[in-house]
Amino acid sequence: MIYIKQLAQHEGQTVQLSGWNAQKRDSKGLVFMTFRDGTGFCQAVIDLNVVGEESFEAAKRLPQESSLSITGKVVKDERQIGGFEIQVTSLQVIAEATEYPITPKEHGVDFLMDNRHLWLRSRRQWAIMRVRNRIIFAIHEFFQSRGFVQMDAPIFTGNACEGTTNLFETDYYGEPAYLSQSGQLYGEAMAMAQGLIYTFGPTFRAEKSKTRRHLSEFWMIEPEMAFYDLKMDMDLIEDFVRSVVTKVLDECADELKALERETSYLEKVREPFIRMKYEDAVSIIKGEKEVNGRTSLVMLAEEQQKLVDEKLATENEIAEREAKIKSGELKKGEINFNQSKIDKLKAQLTDIAERQQAVEQWIHSANTFERGNDFGGGDETVLTKMFGQPVMVYNWPQAVKAFYMKEDETDKGYAKGVDLLAPEGYGEVVGGGERETDIERLKSKIIEHELPMSAFEWYLDLRKFGNVPHSGFGLGLERLVAWICGLQHIRETIPFPRSYGRLLP
């Protein structure tokens, strides 16, 4: 038995494959099956004259997602998925499926999420998971090749790390325990033991967020480096993101193609990232400062106009197709075709309306943004849309950042934190910075943030025994996957997403 992935090495040979019937079409004497085996998809052609009546009838009536083994000749055919097809000589049904819910028709999100366990089999979802896998591998390759040691932080914690977000509370032998929202503080302890470390584990946030950027459970990678300052931290972030993205670009071309990912923005990671201080970023967001000859307000107005044009074009196309159907000159098949196009276009109209609403909000937040505040999702989008490549924003007002961020000695009131914003509206992918080393300042910050001192005694110990400058960052895996794959929603980036209101399947 071989796998679809290996077909190219078996051209002209007769091979055996085991897998599933992803989809099929039939006509007299021929069945065309899109066959999948987990490693890929390919067309299998079943010819009555070759396989005989019994096998042919079995294939013809085989429901979608039934499992089977096929034996056949590998024939090169550029038109096919993967460039090869199998001309089947014999087949054996392993298990006939009952009626499969996911049909080759458009489906709504809720329905697909209810069927996530099956949806994962679709080509698009398959491709996303392949890319996710390559990203994970690339992350390990990057850190391991630089001598980082993977050390994982605990998932049960006794304290709320940053104090702000809502955590999931569990019962830990009668004591309250929280599911970790960050391994950050433990990372610092581990870096003092091993020098360069990274954690790779699940993270939990009990936010009742319903947006395309949030999950209740997601995977985070948090490196922590002894003797690194903010500059070194930023250099590492840039090398790291470039390394991961280019590996996917180089090795997952087929998957990105299946996702219809336009890769020009991704290619930009090969160039140096934009770096700017918070104050400059604010000036750009508020439209006080031009980038490439235009302000944010001009860019947003252009964006608005684009949507108006798009809406008009879509409405016109719907009207045209409706007129065609009404004319009564079309054959039934053509009417169906036009009708399904109209359905699709109408779905696009609702999408355009949503985007128009979003742009309005961005304009509002650009106009009303107050210096000193943290960025909202819209502000991040505006900023990155101005550049079309990753942007690192550093030196944030201390008030909006976590208590452990170090203050810049030459830039009082600003914390040496950095956020990496992905282009195309994907927002904050990495957040990090240099850690506060002054124990007295840490203590007063803990009090200021109204955090329980007793829970941080061990953390303060790190400053008593061989205190060193150190930095780190956190990367949200799913946001990175969403950006690289060009997905509308983060829920497609993880096999079984956990979000507000979704615990099954």
Partner RNA sequence: UCCUCGAUAGCUCAGCUGGUUAGAGCACAUGACUGUUAAUCAUGGGGUCCCUGGUUCGAGCCCAGGUCGGGGAGCCA
User: Mask: binding to RNA, 266-285, rule CB under 7 A, as x and -?
Assistant: --------------------
| 3-state secondary structure (DSSP) of residue 428 | strand
| 3-state secondary structure (DSSP) of residue 238 | helix
Q: How far is the CB of 32 from RNA (least distance, A)?
A: 3
Q: Which one of residues 87, 125, 150, 194 is an interface residue with RNA (CB under 7 A)?
A: 87
**Helix or strand run (H / E) with residue 444:** helix 439-448
Q: Looking at beta carbons only, is 174 or 333 nearer to RNA?
A: 333
Amino acid at 188: E
Beta-strand ranges (E) seen in 423-469 are: 427-434
Q: Which of residues 101-160 bind RNA (CB under 7 A)?
A: 101, 103-111, 113
Interacting stretch for RNA, rule CB under 7 A, among 8-16, 203-211, 250-258, 307-315? 203-211
Q: Looking at beta carbons only, is 195 or 358 nearer to RNA?
A: 358
Amino acid at 410: T
Q: How far is the CB of 338 from RNA (least distance, A)?
A: 8
Interacting stretch for RNA, rule CB under 7 A, among 224-232, 386-394, 422-430, 450-458? 422-430
Q: Which one of residues 162, 229, 254, 310 is an interface residue with RNA (CB under 7 A)?
A: 162
Asked if residue 474 binds RNA (CB under 7 A), the reply is yes
User: Mask: binding to RNA, 384-403, rule CB under 7 A, as x and -?
Assistant: ----------------x---
Q: Which of residues 250-269 bind RNA (CB under 7 A)?
A: none
Interacting stretch for RNA, rule CB under 7 A, among 167-175, 194-202, 246-254, 341-349? 341-349
Q: How many residues bind RNA (CB under 7 A)?
A: 89
Strand partners, 87: 45, 73
Nearest to 11 by CA among 91, 77, 90, 79: 77
Q: Are the C-beta atoms of 220 and 477 separated by less than 8 Å? A: yes
User: Mask: binding to RNA, 354-373, rule CB under 7 A, as x and -?
Assistant: x--xx--x---x--------
Q: What angle do CA 129, 132, 138 make, to 5 degrees?
A: 145
Q: Which one of residues 40, 183, 223, 377 is an interface residue with RNA (CB under 7 A)?
A: 377
DSSP assignments along 152-211, one per residue: PPPSEESS-SSS-S---EEEETTEEEEE-S--HHHHHHHHHHHSEEEEEEEEE------S
Cis peptide before 469 (omega within 30 of 0): no
Token couple for 145: 């090749």
Q: How far is the CB of 188 from RNA (least distance, A)?
A: 15
Amino acid at 202: P
Buried b (16+ CB within 10 A) or exposed e, 140-157: eebbeeeebebbbbeeeb
Q: Looking at beta carbons only, is 106 or 250 nearer to RNA?
A: 106
Report d(CA 426, CA 214) in Å as an integer: 11
Q: Looking at beta carbons only, is 109 or 253 nearer to RNA?
A: 109
Amino acid at 280: D
Q: Looking at beta carbons only, is 43 or 384 nearer to RNA?
A: 43
Q: Which one of residues 91, 366, 429, 485 is an interface residue with RNA (CB under 7 A)?
A: 429
Residue 23 has phi, psi (to 5 degrees) of -175, 150
Q: Which one of residues 427, 436, 445, 471 is an interface residue with RNA (CB under 7 A)?
A: 427
Secondary structure in 3-state letters for 99-141: CCCCCCCCCCHHHHHHCHHHHCCCHHHHHHHHHHHHHHHHHHH
Amino acid at 98: T
Q: How far is the CB of 367 from RNA (least distance, A)?
A: 13
Q: How far is the CB of 173 from RNA (least distance, A)?
A: 28
Q: How far is the CB of 293 from RNA (least distance, A)?
A: 27
Q: How far is the CB of 361 from RNA (least distance, A)?
A: 5
Q: Which one of residues 10, 124, 212, 324 is an interface residue with RNA (CB under 7 A)?
A: 212
Q: Which of residues 18-77 bind RNA (CB under 7 A)?
A: 25-30, 32, 43, 45, 47, 49, 61, 63-64, 77
Q: Looking at beta carbons only, is 192 or 402 nearer to RNA?
A: 402
